[in-house]
Amino acid sequence: MMNQAEKVEERQFDEPEVFVGKDVLELLSSSMYVNPLAIYREYVQNATDAIDDAVAQGLLHSVADGRIEVNLDHIDRRVVIRDNGVGLSNADFALRMMSFGASRKRGTDARGFRGVGRLSALGYVQQLIFRTRSKGDAKVLEARWDGRIVKKLLASTDDETDLQSIVREAVSLKQLEPDDYPAHFFEVELVKPRRIANDRLLNEVEIETFIGQVCPCPFSPEFSYRKEIADLLASHGRAGRTYHIHINGSETPVYRPHRDEVAFSDFKKSAFHSLKPFSIEGIDGEMAAVGWLIHHDYQGAIPVSQGVRGLRARVGNIQIGHDRLFAEIFPEDRFCSWSVGEVHILDPRVLPNGRRDEFESNAHLDNIVAHLRPIGAEVARECRVSSQKRNRIKLFELAADKVYERLDVLKQGAVSERYAKTIKAETGTLLSEMRKATEFDLFEEQERGALRQQLRKIEKAVDRQATRTVGDILEGMPKQKRAAYKEVIDLIYDCSVNQVAAKSLIDRMLDRLSRS
């Protein structure tokens, strides 16, 4: 038992002040967004949520009436991203602009919910400006962040500068006359974005490519499976919603990159031929995800430039991570780059991380990954079957080339009768190999039919040659000399690896002999 001296003295402390250091702002504005183009995803994401709210409040008839505009000014180096969504009210504007990590979207079905995405461009621009108003507001309000001041204060070595002091010095609020602005809108202006790797933040091609892959854009009219995918997603709320995003006033919105075929090179293309929809049940029996996989002839890894490769994850129809996010579901990693498809996450417990490049790890994500493994196995099986088919077709085509080479030798009429019999026997063996190739059990009937049609054409050419009387091109020479020449010609053909080159040589020899 403790005596009085051993008792710990209890003291009452004043409640400490919470000090939020300036480095938090650096984490929010630059460290979280390694890819500069990710800022377009963040602002488009906020715009889609605003359009959804405008539809819910009756300001827009439907999502189809929503419009997101991305305007690039290369001369003055400015970017303006504007939406006709619900906007922020004059009463809420200041508080919402000065809040960090306190989004009102958490717990709703909105796409963004951490309240930090609006500052994603701050580390890349000289000024970051927000303007907005909601229906009925008399003024347009503006919040202007000075990125140069922020950078200067973040670089200082003092320990006393906190988040509040940076905001007081770097942010200014202003009222604007509403005449030149819509009745309800929100816009972000990026002033003097940094020149990064091919000036990515002002590169219209790169921006459109990024938005088309990552954001909730509609599929192109040139993609025949767009309606089938739309029907699959139609009953799943945000997963099926698409928005019109226009760059530099173009009346044609940005489309997803999918078309009816994929190009492996300038000369090798493959058409998509079947769409496989799938759904994934959650741990509690609810729908956790839906998706689709589209098959082609799996000639190899799809080039990155096509913008479609991989089984990609989407939440609210916005891509999470990259094309290799689900690489682990494939028996071999390389098959991930051969596939084309999407997984739309519906389970609200499967959350993207702060950078939106992966998901937060939990049992619900593990459940989805486990259900995707059969999809990965299916792709691997299709890849291997396709490889086996290509090998059989290659053998068939090589045999066909050899048959035609031998027919050309017979038509030349310069070999001996003995060697001609050898050529005919080899031709028969090649035709037998080709017939065997057409019987490969993995061929579809259409593929088998195409090969058989080609085989019949070759067999007719062989039959015509067999019934044709071929003259002796050396007939005018003395018998002994003719025999010697034929023996030499037989040796050239017999010893040559390349029959085409050998025939060309012998044609030149015969031409020389005919003139001597």
* Closest to 328 in 3D by CA, of 370, 388, 382: 370
Q: How many CB atoms lie within 10 A of CB 398?
A: 13
Does residue 166 form part of some domain? yes
Q: Could you tell me the pLDDT band of residue 8, with boundaries at 50, 70 and 90?
A: very low
Which of 200, 227, 254 is the C-terminal boundary of a domain? 227
| Domain end call among 227, 261, 287 | 227
Report, as an integer, the average pLDDT of 92-120: 68
Quote the CA–CA distance of 80 and 83 in Å, as a whole number. Answer: 10
> Of 161-165, 350-354, 403-407, 480-484, where does mean pLDDT reach its minimum?
161-165
CB 211 within 8 A of CB 70: yes
DSSP strands (E only) in 225-366 = 245-247, 261-263, 269-271, 274-281, 287-295, 310-315, 318-320, 340-345
Asked whether the predicted pLDDT for residue 18 surpasses 50, the reply is: no
Average pLDDT over residues 147-155: 81
Mean pLDDT of 293-317: 95
37 lies in a domain? yes
The domain that contains 85 carries what CATH number? Answer: 3.30.565.10
Which residues have a Cβ under 8 Å from the Cβ of 116 and sit 6 or more positions away?
A: 28, 32, 100, 101, 354
In a domain, 40, yes or no: yes
Q: Closest Cα to residue 288, out of 327, 308, 315?
A: 315
Q: At what angle do helices 363-412 and 499-515 cross, to 10 degrees?
A: 20
178, part of any domain: yes
Average pLDDT over residues 389-396: 92
Q: What are the percentages of helix, strand and coil residues in the chain, rounded to 5?
A: 45, 15, 40
Distances from the Cα of 335 to the Cα of 229, 280, 380, angstroms? 23, 21, 6
With residue 227 as reference, give the H or E element that holds it.
helix 226-233
* pTM of the shown model: 0.80
Q: What percent of the chain has pLDDT over 90?
A: 64
Q: What percentage of the chain has pLDDT greater than the value 70?
A: 89
Confidence grade of residue 26 (pLDDT, cut at 50, 70, 90): low
Tell me the CA distances in angstroms from 78 to 33, 70, 203, one per residue in order: 20, 11, 12
Angle at which helix 204-214 crosses helix 38-56, to 10 degrees, equals 50
**Average pLDDT across the chain, whole number:** 88
Task: Return the exposure string of 266-289: e unless at least 16 CB atoms fall within 10 Å of the residue's CB, then b.
Answer: eeeebebeebeebebebeeeeebb
Does 31 score more than 60 pLDDT? no
Segment 448-494, tens digit of pLDDT: 999 999 999 999 999 988 877 666 777 777 777 878 888 888 899 88
Q: Is residue 71 part of a domain?
A: yes
Secondary structure class of 128 (helix, strand, coil): strand
How far apart, in whole angstroms, are the C-alpha atoms of residue 333 and residue 327? Answer: 6
Kindly report, residue by residue over 49-92, the tens digit of the pLDDT. Answer: 999 999 999 999 999 999 999 999 999 999 999 999 999 999 99
- Inside any domain, residue 441: no
Q: What is the C-alpha to C-alpha distance for residues 488 and 474, in angstroms, rounded to an integer?
A: 13
Residue type, 228: E
Q: 465 in a domain, yes or no?
A: no
Q: Which domain holds residue 183?
A: 23-227
Looking at the 3D structure of the chain, how many domains does it have? 2
User: Of 197, 227, 257, which one is at a domain's C-terminal end?
Assistant: 227
Quick one: pLDDT at residue 151?
Answer: 81
Eight-class DSSP state of 303: P
Within-domain flag for 489 = yes
